[in-house]
Amino acid sequence: MRRMISFDCGGDQLVGSLDVADRGTGLMIVSGGNEIRSGAHASQASIAQHFAALGHPVFRYDRRGIGESEGVNNGFETSADDITAAVTAFRAQAPSIKKLVAFGNCDAATALAFFHAGIAIDALILANPWVIEAAQNDEAATPPTAAAIRARYLARLKNPRSLIDLLTGKIDFKKLAGGLAKVAQKEAPSGLAARLAQALAATTLPVHILIADRDTTALSFMGAYKDRLFDPVRNRVNVHISTVNSASHSFADTTSRDWLIANIHKVLDQI
């Protein structure tokens, strides 16, 4: 059974959807970007239905200024109170919950890393974390980072078809050389990446980072993850990173979707 819930966040009424079940481990899904709680192509609603059918309560919500929720949308960096209010509402409406796993994709993953401390969350699933500085957190309008461009160049050069195109003149060699020289330059991690590294190094919760390895956002994160500022994170036994061969940011293809579901299963079963 799925029911709609409204709850308070700083005087604004937020709206969420609870898929009712009675097992002791619940899943809270935090939407990324400006997506409503159903997710791209209703993917988050589908995930909720899947896990509720297995007995896990699942909660999704629209943060302030998004979808059916009141208030002003000031982006993911101001969503700490929304996350806290959602956790409180979820636990109140699903009293069977003993452990709560929070899942977020893109800037929702970054928000969870930033704001989970001191909230009744027991594990984090962070998919394709957002580390790209953008004035309005608009991924579609933000140019890819050098790390993302570099990965795309390398993938293209590994493709035998690209060699044929280069030899037959379909690829401009001067432009290719110029592009390679540009992306070969060392790029300093963004301020968001530095803050994300600090947050992940400080947490004691189990953290599972899920990466679609050809997604632009994920490529930018992986570029930053290789920097020495993430050394303390890579050495933490509570932080795990897994990748799937996909360019789908929202894990929309069948293979990556099945992989995502399987990884959420693992966390819910192990926590």
Looking at residue 230, the DSSP 8-state letter turns out to be G
State the pLDDT at residue 136: 44
State the pLDDT at residue 133: 86
| Closest to 111 (Cα-Cα) out of 86, 90, 88 | 86
Looking at residue 71, the DSSP 8-state letter turns out to be S
Convert the pLDDT of each residue in 37-51 to its tens digit.
Answer: 999 999 999 999 999
Sign of CA dihedral 77, 83, 84, 85: positive
State the pLDDT at residue 109: 98
Which residues make Cβ contacts (< 8 Å) with residue 227, sequence separation at least 6? Answer: 189, 193
Residue type, 198: Q
> Which residues, given as ranges, of the chain have pLDDT below 50?
135-137, 139, 141, 153
Start-to-end Cα distance in the chain: 24
Compute the distance between CA of residue 50 and CA of residue 39 in angstroms, rounded to an integer.
Answer: 14
